[in-house]
Structure 1
Amino acid sequence: MMNENNDQPELPAFVYLPCTTHVQDPADAVVEFRRVADDRLALMTYSSLDQLKSCCGDQQPWLGVPTSVLEHLHQAQPYDLVLVDVVIPEELRAVPQNPQPRHTTA
């Protein structure tokens, strides 16, 4: 679903973001970004934890955040677009080095 004001999709009030590693403290989480075919930097978001696991794999570290946090994330790490519920091919999925807790919520 697209927002009337721009090309960005409408997002739920809470989203799940893939991260680079599992962490105990949400403040230590590092969000994973992806480059798309035209070299833009994309923030991957998932509408539910089930969607994240289905699209990224069961071992994908993640961070659950209110959508309002995305503006702060953009200020810290500018990105070009937001993608929602995109399937990551298995060969491109990250395998976490520290498969400890499988969730983090900010």
Structure 2
Amino acid sequence: MRYGGKREQEVFAAPDSATSSGVIEPGNSDMEDRSDENPRQQVFIPSERAQGGGADVKLELRRTEEGQLALLCYESLDLLLSACGNQQPWVSVYRQQVEEVQRTTAAEVVLWNALLPEEARKDD
């Protein structure tokens, strides 16, 4: 796993609050199953900024309008930064690890390339 371009241990922690602000609206994401795509492709996931030298990475989970806890995944760093803001911390994993990350964080659904509401974006 890479964190903001740096190599880190493969440890995931569900955020204490389980979600960040900003509800994902229908039509602003893609829930299509991508399990048959290149398993070694890098996938980018929004995270909280790492504090100290700890190995745990807290991923940012969001709620859908239906109330489901969602793990956001992006097919490129450019897509993540466009959808979440240019100051959004991130981690990258291989596509084949997304299901494991989903289980570890207790996310109910994986949303691909979701556009966050303006108030939830981390821009300059």
Once residues 47 and 23 of structure 1 are traced to their aligned partners in structure 2, the CA distance between those partners, rounded to angstroms, is: 26
Unaligned runs of 5+ in 1: 1-6, 96-106
The match for 1:82 is 110
Matched residue count: 89
TM-score (norm 1): 0.70
CA drift at 1:23: 5.7
SS in 1 for 2:62: strand
TM-score scaled to structure 2, two decimals? Answer: 0.61
CA change 1:67–1:24 in 2 (3 A) is farther
Structure 2 counterpart of 1:19: 47
| Partners of 1:42 and 1:88 in 2: CA distance | 12
SS of corresponding position for 1:88: coil
Which is richer in strand? 2
Please state how far the C-alpha of 1:30 moved relative to its aligned partner: 0.9
Question: Kindly, what percent of the aligned residue pairs are identical?
Answer: 34
Q: Is the 8 A contact 2:44 2:93 kept in 1?
A: yes
Q: Cα deviations across residues 23-58 of structure 1 (Å, max 9, x unaligned)?
A: 686933211110101111111000100000111111
Q: How does 1:21-36 map to 2 (within 5 A)?
A: 21-22=49-50, 27-36=55-64
